[in-house]
Amino acid sequence: MSDLTFNRKTGILIWGAENYKSVTGPYGEGQLPIGDYRIEIYKAVDSNQLKNSYENTLTGSRWFIPIDPQFSTHRYGFGIHPDGNKPGTLGCIGIKAQDASSFWTRWRNTPMTARPTKVSVYD
Amino acid sequence: MKTLILLIVIFSTIGCTCSNNASIESTLLQHAISDDSEEQYKSCIFLGELLLTEVEIKKINKEMESSICKYYINAKKTMSAKDQSLFIKNFPSIEAQKAIWKIHSDLGYPITFLPPYFELLISLSSTSDLALDKLVSTLNPSNAALTESTIDSLSRLYAKDTQRVMSSFIKNNTSKSLITLTIDTASYYEGENKNE
């Protein structure tokens, strides 16, 4: 199992040997804070009932993987999802449409016990 | 997913009901009246969707302490202007929303689905200025998922009724960042509508 890392400056989410172009912020309180987050693998949602903010505009699929900061912060409600509608998020990691599909396919094809349980965010 | 959540609540409630032979409604009412905030929250969600008798509504009003749960059930069941107004006026502050959000996520409800109190406020805000002002004044960007989902709904309203939403933003001193996000998202939907 390999965990995820996210570079806020380059906007690259790394899972093992693969890179996924992503964005965080700039809306609301901006980028998600630096630190480690637990990935709530059992709380991931894949549903067309989700809001457009979580839609992959190329495929129409909508999904959201909650992540929980493992440090003290007043901010919460973060997740990893496709960067739907207008570009940018309120602090979540929004994967660009062209990469969101391959990320989600890989996620779904990875057994639960082998899915990443941590994402480290840095500059 | 909402249906799934509802079914889980129904089945877990039926499990309780079989043991004491009480009706689903009365079991839920007992839970809603209880001091356990998680039990109250779960029961509220379900009671808001159930057909309740006048007697049951009276029981809620007589035995339940004043809470957002009580105002929510009344607003959903009676659909009267008075009850909707009470619900809007008593909608939780940003600080109080944290507790609701914690219960919502701790119970395992997907955080991308808004707690039903918020869904009702959003629904009322399409026609009520009071509800719109409450929705706008309690936007909390510290909660990324909740604000993202709320702005998504708000931007649709903005696309239809720009002046009304902008007036509420100005009145409630909304941050420039959230206004920009609403306008940007609304323009995205306008483009989408033109393409349809």
Report the alpha-carbon angle B36-B1-B8, nearest 5: 45
Q: Is the pLDDT of residue B155 over 90?
A: yes
- pLDDT-based confidence at B190, cuts 50/70/90? confident
Instruction: Say if residues B84 and B126 touch (Cβ distance below 8 Å).
Output: no
Distances (CA, A) of B150 to B109, B140, B147: 17, 10, 5
Identify whether the C-beta of residue B157 lies closer than 8 Å to the C-beta of residue B165.
yes
- Mean pLDDT of all residues in B19-35: 75
**pLDDT band at residue B30 under the 50/70/90 scheme:** confident
Confidence category of residue B160, pLDDT binned at 50, 70, 90? very high
Contact A77 B143 (CB under 8 A): yes
> Which carries the bigger pLDDT value, residue A62 or residue B53?
A62
Say how far apart CA B44 and CA B100 lie, in whole Å: 12
Rounded to the nearest angstrom, the minimum Cα separation between A29 and chain B is: 6
pTM flag (> 0.90)? no
The whole-angstrom distance between B36's CA and the closest CA on chain A is 24
Q: Looking at residues A63-74, what average pLDDT do you find? A: 96
pLDDT surpasses 90 at B112: no
**Mutation to test the B interface, candidates A29, A41, A55, A72, most B Cβ within 10 Å:** A29
Give the pLDDT confidence of A16-68 residue by residue, as tens digits. Answer: 999 999 999 999 999 999 999 999 999 999 998 888 889 999 999 999 999 99
Give me the pLDDT at residue B36, please: 80
SS3 assignment, position B71: helix
- Give how far A105 is from chain B: nearest CA, Å: 20
Identify which of A102, A97, A60, A67 has the alpha carbon closest to the alpha carbon of residue A82. Answer: A97
Q: What is the pLDDT at residue B19? A: 46
8 Å CB contact of A53 and B110: no
Q: Which residue did the predictor score with more confidence, B62 or A114?
A: A114
Read off the pLDDT of each residue in B1-17 and give the average, rounded to a whole number.
52
- Identify the band that residue B191 occupies on the pLDDT scale cut at 50, 70 and 90: low
Task: Say if residues B152 and A85 touch (Cβ distance below 8 Å).
Answer: yes
Q: Which residues of chain A make contact with B181, given a CB cutoff of 8 A?
A: 27-28, 86, 88, 90
